[in-house]
Structures are given as C-alpha cells and as structure tokens.
Structure 1
Amino acid sequence: MLEINRPEIVAQVREVFLRYEAALQANDVPTLEELFWNAPETTRYGVGENLYGWPAISAFRRSGKLGRFTRTLMNTVITTYGSDFATANTEYQRDGEASPGRETKTLIRTPEGWRIASAHASLLGVTV
C-alpha cells in the first residue's frame, strides 16, 4: 500500500524545498546545481526556456539571467508518495512584478539525497 504524506518524509522534502527557495533568491548557483538531479532525464521548463538535462540547467543557472530577487510563496502543497517520490507545488509573487507565478517540482530520493528531477515555472496572465 502506497503511503501518502508520511510526516517524516514530508519534513525531508520541505527542508529541500526551503533550501532551494533560499538558494534561488540568493542566486546561489552551487546549491541550485546540487539540488537538481544530475542526469540527462532532468527537465526544467521556465517562464522563457525549456531545458533538457542537468548540463543545460547548469548552463542556464551559470548564465546569470535571473540574478537575485525576492518573492513571496503562497499555497505551497508538498505531497509525498511512499518514501522516494514527491511533488511540491507553490504559487509566488515576485517583488516588483505584476503577474503572479506558479511552480511545480518533482523530487526523487537518490543516493545523494532528495533531488529535483523535473521543474516547471510559469506566470499567470502572460502569453507568449
């Protein structure tokens, strides 16, 4: 039977989620790189880019396109499925930006710890 939201697993994933959020706002590239699964299957769909594989995600982070910023998270939902798979969904509002955003992360437990295997960020009300 698949156990949903075991408290100790949710706590582990929340810790990684918050660590990533702090690194994101500080533009702490080494931590951001560490928390993404270093594998060719890893994906990150951003507001303006589609990245396939850890090297592409790393190159994007190292490009400095995002820099430092602040944002407020709202309605964060972390769900764990068993002890090795989780999702983290949140809404956010970046300071100085009109459009609110939303973000989804899929996390897996690896031998190195919890890692983001897939991420997707988008802005509400923005069309490309």
Structure 2
Amino acid sequence: MTDLTDMRINLPEVLAAVTAEFDRYEKALVTNDVDTLDDFFWHSEHALRYGVGENLYGFDAIAAFRAGRPANNLARERFNTVITTFGENMAVANTEFRREGTTKTGRQSQTWCRFADGWHIVSAHVSLLSS
C-alpha cells in the first residue's frame, strides 16, 4: 500500500495550472464551446459524467450529450469553489452555482488528472439541490 503521508497538497504551480484549466472550462461551458468542452474530458471509455438528468459513461457519450445540449440559459454565478491538488498529477474541483433567473443551487465536482497531453477531467458530477 502506498503511504500518502508524503503527498504534497496544493503545490502552488499545480494549483495554479488546475485553476486556470477550471476557469477555461467554465468559459467554454457558458459560451457552449463544444469542441473545447470535449477537449477537457479524457478521451476514454472510462471517463464519466453524471448530470442532472443523465448518466454518461465514456467519452463518446459525453461528447454526444454536449453536441445535442441546448445552448440557452447557460450563464451562471459560481461560488464556494474549492480546488485541491494531490501531488503533481491529480486534482479535484468543486463549486456551487446558480443560473441566472433562478434561485436553485447547483453543485459541480470534477476529478482532474494530468496526462502527457495536459490536464483532463476523468470524472464529473453535476446536481441540483432540491430546495
């Protein structure tokens, strides 16, 4: 078993890199830049995204969802964003959000891994609070 007591949490350069990618993802999301959104996800059958109304297994399913998603009412306010990095190649990003014109709060979590070609989301979950 690996001893994680030496795990370096939030190395400044890694945290800055993931934060920049997370912000780029947000910009692509609210502008419905589908090609950029696709590039963020790991191109693997093992990637997954649980959405508010869909469970997507594998990059192909995620890309198909993005291609067919309506591009209206995408603007949102983000708050309570927490990004934590583990070593140099893994991170989790969590945020809450509220779409313009609604009082419902949503939650978004992503697991990011660094591959040879850069940072990619390997797992994502989006949900809305019921109240």
TM-score interval, normalised by the smaller of the two chains: over 0.9
In structure 2, C-alpha distance between the alignment counterparts of 1:77 and 1:124, rounded to whole Å? 18
**Paired position in structure 2 for 1:86:** 91
Tell me the secondary structure at the aligned position of residue 74 of structure 2.
coil
**Paired position in structure 2 for 1:103:** 108
Tell me the secondary structure at the aligned position of residue 45 of structure 2.
coil
**Paired position in structure 2 for 1:122:** 127
Residue 82 (structure 2) pairs with residue 77 (structure 1): yes
How many matched pairs?
Answer: 126
**Paired position in structure 1 for 2:3:** none
Residues 27 and 68, structure 1, Cα contact 8 Å, conserved in 2: no
In structure 1, C-alpha distance between the alignment counterparts of 2:67 and 2:112, rounded to whole Å? 22
CA RMSD of aligned residues (A): 1.1
Residues 57-76 of structure 1: pairs in structure 2 closer than 5 A:
57-67=62-72, 69-76=74-81
In structure 2, C-alpha distance between the alignment counterparts of 1:37 and 1:97, rounded to whole Å? 31
- 1:125 is displaced (CA, Å) by 1.1
- TM-score, normalising length: structure 1: 0.95
In structure 1, C-alpha distance between the alignment counterparts of 2:106 and 2:71, rounded to whole Å? 15
- 1:69 is displaced (CA, Å) by 1.5
Q: Give, as a single letter, the amino acid of the residue that structure 1 aligns with 2:99.
A: R
Tell me the secondary structure at the aligned position of residue 107 of structure 2.
strand
In structure 2, C-alpha distance between the alignment counterparts of 1:48 and 1:37, rounded to whole Å? 21
Match for 1:8 among 2, 5, 13?
Answer: 13
**Paired position in structure 1 for 2:36:** 31
Identical-residue share of aligned pairs (%): 49
- TM-score, normalising length: structure 2: 0.93
Bigger Cα Rg: 2
Tell me the secondary structure at the aligned position of residue 36 of structure 2.
helix
Structure 2 residue runs without a partner (length 5+): 1-5
* Higher mean displacement: 60-69 or 20-29: 60-69
